[in-house]
Structure 1
């Protein structure tokens, strides 16, 4: 907040200089040749300032929660994800139930097995269990990849539409707002003040970190 205030102060200083020039350039001309020359220099300095941007732009607001609730494509993609999740769960549950049944049967038959038979069967079941864990992890990774792909499809569809939509409507900024936060979906590049802010901050940084002037020996 402190740095932002200092940067804004720099902008206000420029505004004061411009107002100072506008005020005195409208007065009757009674200056001496020297004063007239100074005024001419001031005019040249002001004319070199970049034209002020119009910051009174129109803002479009999109309720992202409402968009997700009512957009047909979003519902379709969610249904696809749920279907895949359900398919993975069913396959895992079926294999898990089958393995559990084998463990129960092994426990019942263990007393009648030789030590070698018991160890062999136990090793076999443990290997099946490890395969099941591996399948579970693979399904989790695969589901995350599919989720990311569908999410990318959803975002691209929305952003592309908004970009085309905004060419007609002419909003300077389109904001998507949700319970999780806000995001800029589209904006007019002419109102981008990034370079101005960066320049102001760097200037402020240089001023704050300039080496102190050496003290004069008395």
Structure 2
């Protein structure tokens, strides 16, 4: 970003015209230099940026692992919903039998205690599965960051960028497409990506 500085000087009237003419010539020289400067450089900095959304949509590792997490999340929801429905059905049946005086007091207390234990067990299962899912998600995010950083370290040995920014949503208010290296990064990541056996799509 170019910064313009305005300096006020005090000069005698006889020198005013000369000083003004000199400043104009200097400004013209600065403008000509800025017009001929490479687009990818700001001063001594060489800057680029990468579209994060494009990486998430096009990087094979992201697509593979997203499917795994999606399936795991669905399995967790299905397991918890099934157990919750079974518990609700048992509780409703218990209430119906109590109203019909089908249990003795001791039997009713024992069944009620059993239902309370099932509910507590269900809450513990919910917490455990949610924690495991969170750990798996963090593991994926960490692996994603590591793979991108590793690639950029190798990529930048030749490109020599001073700064590579991540652009996600509107976190960058403006970014000239001349600085965009997303396609290079996505292509390089996919070329280097070797899915683990757990991530490989089963052959039909």
TM-score (norm 2): 0.60
Deviations, residues 147-202 of structure 1 (Å, cap 9, x unaligned): 000110111011101110111111111111112736xxxxxxxxxxxxxxxxxxxx
Name the structure 2 match of 1:95. Answer: 83
2:183 aligns to what? none
* Structure possessing the higher radius of gyration over alpha carbons: 1
Matched, 1:181 2:181: no
Return the match for 1:154 from 130, 144, 159.
144
Q: Residues 155 and 180 of structure 1: is their aligned pair in 2 closer, same or farther, counting only changes over 3 Å? A: farther
Relative to structure 1, the CA distance from residue 180 to residue 143 in structure 2 (aligned partners, 3 Å threshold; closer, same or farther) is farther
Structure having the higher helix fraction is 1
66-75 vs 144-153, which moves further: 66-75
Count of residues in Structure 1 that have an aligned counterpart in Structure 2? 129
Gaps of 5+ in 2: 1-41, 173-204
Pairing 1:61–2:49 present: yes
Match of 2:63 among 75, 83, 90: 75
Distance (whole Å) between structure 1 residues aligned to residue 104 and residue 111 of structure 2: 11
DSSP-derived class of the 1:181 partner? coil
Q: What is aligned with 2:112?
A: 122
- Consecutive unaligned residues of structure 1, counting only runs of 5 or more, are 1-53, 183-218
- Say whether residues 1:107 and 2:92 are aligned partners: no
**1:180–1:89 distance in 2 versus 1, CA, 3 Å:** farther
How far apart, in 1, do the equivalents of 2:43 and 2:128 lie?
51
SS of the counterpart of 1:62?
A: strand
User: How far did residue 60 of structure 1 move?
Assistant: 1.3
Deviations 1:36-66, CA, capped at 9 Å, x for gaps: xxxxxxxxxxxxxxxxxx9422111111112
- Matched position secondary structure for 2:161: coil
Q: Which has the higher contact order (CA 8 A, sep 6+)?
A: 2
1:138 Cα deviation from its structure 2 partner: 1.0
After superposition, the CA RMSD in angstroms is: 1.6
